[in-house]
Structure formats: structure tokens, C-alpha cells
């Protein structure tokens, strides 16, 4: 182990492939920082800081301040001690020094999940875009009222190819009443054998309303996946201890040092699905390494076909 790394860092800005509209509003530009560590032998490794402040991570400015105050140097011990208030910095530096992970453990390939345009924009998209056979698709809800979106939903599921698996993601934007209406509707669709398989409803309520989400998970048959509620490893630990009965969506790029997440998952098997924060190929490489090892086998990862093909 080398005593000290030389640190370079470079902020970046990239437009998203199409503006993403969620219950948090529109998002058009991904900003982050690429860090480069050089050891005493001149060998270089990279990591990526891709913050998502509305998930409770540090802001880009905080990450930049952290990189600046390093004065171009960091030790392995200092990487271990990056504070939990900087989870994306922990991820980037941890990734850059994570060499002991076997690549592609069992050789299984990961399936992609295609994010559909939000709201009624999905219909012209479906009319003009050929979908693969048996796709996994995701559609955001909680942007318009249940009355409007449920009509679109019923129209949408009639237009999807056979064998589609569909995920709905509310980004915590539903009221309890709307969540109950959505889950009743989704449970009713389960009886309809010609309808696509609804894999789960993702994060119906905001993270602080976890008790109500436990109630929903116990009341309805449709699975609930938590996303915003497990933005940090500490939250994942707590929910695991509380025996959350659904799935966990892990945005590993914002969850701190990947070596810590890897060893926690090794000791605590649970149904997890790895998901993108629209990071570049640098962070994606580490996230997919984790996904190869721990993503629930029967589920696609939350990365688009393009993101998965770019990573190869
Ligand atoms: Mg989500």
C-alpha cells in the first residue's frame, strides 16, 4: 500500500440525453467531478463524484471545496475517514482505490431498464420508438393528478409489447390517498392476465413517511421499492433491521464508499436493484461491478440500454 496519492480533479457538465421530469421537477444537466489518483509508481486510477443534493448528498460546491482543501494529496487512511456528509466524495475516492473486487463474478449479464418519457409524452414516444422484446420499462408518476395519470396508465399498458415488465416511480410525490388509489389499481391489474407485469411501485411517499409505507406494503399485493428512503448505507441498515418487506433501489454512486456497501451486502443478503444517477462511465463502472455481484437476479438494473452498452 502506498502512503500517499497525488490528487487531480476536473469538474464536468453534461446535458442529459433527454430532460428528465420527475416529481422534483425537470433536470437537464448532470454536473460532477472526475478525480484522478496517482500513486508513487505513476499509476493512475479514476473516480467520479456525481452529487444528487435532493437525495440528501453534498452539493457540487461542497465536493469541490473538499477536493480543493486536499492540496493535491490524500492517503488511504484519509480516504477511509472522508465524512459521511460527503457520500459522493466517499464513493469517488473509494472507487479509485477499490482493486480487490473480482470483476464479473459469475459472468451473468445485466438487463437494462428503459426510462419512458413522463406523462402523456410517452405516447408519441411509443409510436415512434421500437421496443425490444420482453423489455423492462419505467414510467414516472406523481407529476400530475391520479385522475389524469391513471387514465394514461390504462392506455399505456394496452400499448406495451407482450412480456413487458413495468416499474412505476413516484419519487416520493404521492399523497397517502393517491398511493392507496395507485396500489388498488395495480393490484386489480394483477388479475388481468393480458396486462404487463407490474414489477413494483417505487417510493410512493417521501422518505420521512416510512411508517405509512410499511402500512402500504402490508396492505397491498403490489411490491413497493424504496429509493429516496435508502439514499445512504445507514438508512439501508436501519430498514433492513426493521425488516422492510419490499425491494431496495440502490443508487450506489451516492451511497458512500463502494467497498463498505459491498461488504455490507455480502453479510446482509436482501433484494436490491442498482440504479443510475446519470453518472458517466467512470462511476457507472463501479456501480455495475456492485450490480454484477448483488443485483437481484430476476430484475433488470436501473440503467438504460445505452448506459449498459456504453459501459462495455
Ligand atoms: Mg426512483
Give 20 Cα–ligand 1 centroid separation in angstroms: 12
Give 278 Cα–ligand 1 centroid separation in angstroms: 12
What is the tens place of the pLDDT at every residue in 93-145?
A: 999 999 865 555 555 689 999 999 999 999 999 999 999 889 999 999 999 99
Residue 84 corresponds to which cell in the numbers above?
459521511
Give 250 Cα–ligand 1 centroid separation in angstroms: 9
pTM for this prediction: 0.93
Mean pLDDT of 255-278: 97
Give 253 Cα–ligand 1 centroid separation in angstroms: 14
Rounded (10°) CA dihedral 279, 285, 291, 297: 100
Mean pLDDT of 187-212: 93
Give 176 Cα–ligand 1 centroid separation in angstroms: 17
CA distance 30 to 15: 6
Residue 164 corresponds to which cell in the numbers above?
413487458
Return mean pLDDT, the chain: 93
Mean pLDDT of 201-208: 97
Residue 70 has pLDDT above 70, yes or no: yes
pLDDT at position 100: 60
Mean pLDDT of 24-41: 92
Residue 189 corresponds to which cell in the numbers above?
391489474
Give 202 Cα–ligand 1 centroid separation in angstroms: 6
Q: How confident is residue 226, by pLDDT bands cut at 50, 70 and 90? A: very high
Residue 84 has pLDDT above 60, yes or no: yes
pLDDT at position 310: 67
Residue 204 has pLDDT above 90, yes or no: yes
CA distance 113 to 11: 28
pLDDT at position 210: 97
Question: Minimal CA–CA distance to 165: which of 29, 310, 299, 308?
Answer: 299
Mean pLDDT of 43-52: 96
Q: Which residues are catalytic, by number?
A: 140, 251
Mean pLDDT of 1-9: 86
Q: How confident is residue 312, by pLDDT bands cut at 50, 70 and 90? A: very low
Phi-psi region of 89 (alpha: psi -120 to 50; beta: other; left: phi over 0): alpha
Residue 135 corresponds to which cell in the numbers above?
423489455
Question: Minimal CA–CA distance to 200: which of 110, 52, 306, 300?
Answer: 300
Residue 25 corresponds to which cell in the numbers above?
421537477
What is the tens place of the pLDDT at every residue in 147-175?
A: 999 999 999 999 999 899 999 999 999 99
pLDDT at position 230: 95
In three-state secondary structure terms, 309 is helix
Instruction: Determine the distance from the C-alpha atom of residue 144 to the mean position of all C-alpha atoms in its chain, rounded to a whole number.
Output: 23
Mean pLDDT of 35-55: 95
What is the tens place of the pLDDT at every residue in 238-266?
A: 999 999 999 999 999 999 999 999 999 99
55 or 42, greater pLDDT: 42
Angle between helices 258-267 and 281-294 (to 10 degrees): 10
pLDDT at position 217: 98
Half-sphere exposure of 171 (CA within 13 A, CB side): 17
Percent of the chain with pLDDT over 70: 94
Q: Give the C-alpha distances (Å, rounded to integers) separating 53 from 64, 181, 217.
A: 14, 30, 27
CA distance 122 to 178: 21
Amino acid at each position: 500500500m502506498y502512503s500517499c496519492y497525488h490528487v487531480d480533479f476536473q469538474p464536468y457538465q453534461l446535458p442529459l440525453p433527454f430532460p428528465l421530469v420527475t416529481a422534483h421537477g425537470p433536470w437537464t444537466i448532470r454536473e460532477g467531478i472526475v478525480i484522478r489518483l496517482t500513486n508513487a509508481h505513476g499509476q493512475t486510477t479514476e473516480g467520479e463524484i456525481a452529487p444528487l443534493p435532493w437525495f440528501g448528498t453534498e452539493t457540487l460546491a461542497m465536493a469541490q471545496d473538499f477536493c480543493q482543501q486536499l492540496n493535491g494529496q490524500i492517503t488511504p487512511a484519509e480516504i477511509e475517514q472522508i465524512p459521511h456528509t460527503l457520500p459522493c466524495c466517499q464513493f469517488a475516492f473509494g472507487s479509485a482505490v477499490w482493486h480487490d473486487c473480482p470483476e464479473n463474478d459469475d459472468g451473468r449479464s445485466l438487463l437494462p431498464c428503459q426510462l419512458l418519457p413522463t406523462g402523456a409524452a410517452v405516447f408519441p414516444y411509443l409510436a415512434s420508438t421500437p421496443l425490444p422484446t420482453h423489455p423492462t420499462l419505467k414510467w414516472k408518476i406523481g407529476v400530475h393528478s391520479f385522475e389524469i395519470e391513471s387514465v394514461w396508465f390504462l392506455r399505456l399498458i394496452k400499448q406495451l409489447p407482450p412480456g413487458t415488465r413495468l416499474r412505476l416511480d413516484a419519487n416520493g410525490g404521492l399523497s397517502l390517498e393517491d398511493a392507496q388509489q395507485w396500489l388498488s389499481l395495480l393490484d386489480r391489474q394483477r388479475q388481468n392476465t393480458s396486462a404487463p407485469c407490474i414489477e413494483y411501485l417505487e417510493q410512493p411517499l417521501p422518505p420521512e413517511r416510512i411508517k405509512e409505507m410499511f402500512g402500504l406494503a402490508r396492505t397491498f399485493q403490489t411490491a413497493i421499492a424504496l429509493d429516496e428512503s435508502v439514499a445512504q448505507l445507514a438508512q439501508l441498515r436501519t430498514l433492513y433491521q426493521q425488516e422492510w418487506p419490499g425491494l431496495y433501489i440502490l443508487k450506489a454512486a451516492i451511497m458512500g464508499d463502494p467497498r463498505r456497501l459491498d461488504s455490507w451486502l455480502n453479510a446482509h443478503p436482501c433484494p436490491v436493484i442498482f440504479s443510475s444517477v446519470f453518472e458517466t462511465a467512470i462511476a457507472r463502472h463501479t456501480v455495475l461491478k456492485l450490480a454484477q455481484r448483488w443485483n437481484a437476479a430476476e430484475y433488470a438494473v436501473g440503467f438504460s440500454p445505452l448506459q449498459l452498452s456504453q459501459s462495455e
